[in-house]
Amino acid sequence: MSIESNEEAIPGRGNFYSAEPDPAAPKKRSTFEDDALWDRTAEEPWKLELLTIFLRNQLRVAPAMPLLTFMLAFTSLMWVPPVTAMFWLAATLASQAVQIYLCANFFQTERSESKQYDWIGMMAASELVHGVCWGLPLFLFWEGANSLQAIYLVSFIMAIIAVRLLVVNNFTPVLVAGTGVMSVALAIRCAIQAEPVFIALAGLIIVLEVFFLFIARQLADTARDMVKFKSQKDTLIEELKLERDRAEAEKVNAEEANKAKSIFLATMSHELRTPLNAIMGFSEILKRELFGPLSVPAYKDYAGDIHHSGGYLLDLINDILDLSRIEAGRREIQEEPFDLLACVKSAQALLNGKASEKSVAVKVEITPSLPKLMGDLRGVNQILINLLTNAIKFTPAGGQVVVSAARNASGGMVLSVKDNGPGIPAHEVQSVLNSFSRGSLATKGAVDGAGLGLSIVKGLMDLHGGDVSIVSEVGKGTEVLITFPAHRVLTGPRGEIIAAPNVQSESQRKLIAITG
């Protein structure tokens, strides 16, 4: 196991993992999209990061190694000449000082991929010298030692090998340079003794070294994967942060654009309606010849065309304003009970003229026994007018529009407006609910309209908590279904009280609706 967790942040890693994106550069693929690409781009940084972990661990255990060195030097004085012990002590401490200096210098200089192999080479060389220094006691201190002292010396060197294994396990080249020398020295020393115990120890040491190297390799692979996955996670987090910042910036831009649109529409509606009212008023006077007959009869027809075009333009302006209020959340609904059949009859009467011009029959199949609904009466009338206008517009001459209503299984109310017009292709059914979206058949047939009717219907039904769906088949007609949720259907004693004529106050109705 490594002393330092691989999850710890590494100083200086910004050189490899934190880069300011170039706006002109093509968008990079996510790190999870291409493992091969990740392996190539992360190969060098993880080596440098593992080297950084190793060097930091070296500094952390730096006080322990001199203590072990002093311990062996002083205990060996019982059978080793002082000069020999002091010579070995000085050499070993010098090798440790060189390692500490290299480790400290690594963190004080700039680290880069181009120099990381130089550092690996220097650390492997220093570890090799360190391993040689620890292997020397097996030959310098062996003479004059009895069996127990020899076993103590072997055990001490094996303990040093274990310590180095713990420190260097995630960097195999450096590990081999240090523990390999010590293990070979131990095996040679034990084999020279030619005693069964020491020969067995020599074999055990070789087997353990091979086993340690195998385990170290597995640990190094695990450490490498952890570092790579951590880097991958950090890269993904940076990508998410960039996407979040981009989304927030786009949201701000969208809000500003929406605000500018609302201001523009409010201003233009006033600027357009003022001259438009004058145009429609004067054209109405000319069309009806209120101040006397026109000398040229064609002028009367022209005035009628002007009045009709002005009315179309005024309806378009009103639709755009209604849609902008809905999208901006400014359209509020005024809750009151209403009779759906009465609303349908009112819309039918308003559009009878258009239906008669095209010889289209509007048939209402709604029973008077249906319960009343709670909602915005003006909004519901607008929904019905838009739906009937669309149905009459697309129904061929001599065709029929059928309006029906019924309760659904969940207790809500479903209103159906069905025509026998050209229908809508299946791939366009959802898109026609969008603003300024018109079906291909409407465009080819040059049918009047800006594509706002159904989007307004959807927006108003959303305010009521309802739903809009379209069932259509090319050549067989279209059926638009609007569904009011169950809580808007006034049934039972509570519905009778709310819908009662003597409950005139809106606050009274809301109180009854809450407590009912």
pLDDT in tens, 64-120: 889 999 999 999 999 999 999 999 999 999 998 998 888 888 888 776 666 777 787
> Stretch 17-21: mean pLDDT, rounded?
40
pLDDT in tens, 376-401: 888 888 889 889 988 898 888 889 99
- Residues 79, 83, 85, 86, Cα dihedral to 10°: 150
pLDDT in tens, 396-446: 888 999 999 999 888 899 999 999 888 888 777 777 777 655 555 554 544
CB environment 221-253: b (16+ within 10 A), e (fewer):
eebbebbbebbbeebeeebeeeeeeeeeeeeee
- Residues 447, 452, 455, 460, Cα dihedral to 10°: -120
The pLDDT-based confidence of 290 (bands split at 50, 70, 90) is: confident
Residue 269 has pLDDT above 80, yes or no: no
How far is residue 143 from each of residues 81, 149, 234, 262, measured CA to CA in Å?
10, 10, 57, 98
pLDDT score for 330: 64
Residue 171 has pLDDT above 80, yes or no: no
Residue 51 has pLDDT above 90, yes or no: no
Pairwise pLDDT comparison (12 vs 481), residue with the higher score: 481
pLDDT in tens, 211-234: 877 777 777 677 677 777 777 787
The pLDDT-based confidence of 345 (bands split at 50, 70, 90) is: very high
Residue 152, C-beta contacts closer than 8 angstroms, at least 6 positions apart: 75
Structure tokens at 371: 């319960």
Classify strands 413-419 and 335-338 as parallel, antiparallel or unpaired. unpaired
If you average pLDDT over every residue of the chain, what do you get?
78
**Percent share of the chain, pLDDT over 70:** 78
Residue 493 has pLDDT above 90, yes or no: no
pLDDT score for 516: 45
Q: Which helix (H) or strand (E) holds 293?
A: none
Min mean pLDDT across 3-12, 72-81, 357-366 is at 3-12
What sign does the dihedral 53-59-63-69 (CA atoms) show?
positive
Pairwise pLDDT comparison (13 vs 409), residue with the higher score: 409
Strand ranges in 443-515 using DSSP code E only, listed in sequence order: 467-473, 477-484, 489-490
Residue 156 has pLDDT above 80, yes or no: yes
CA distance 422 to 478: 8
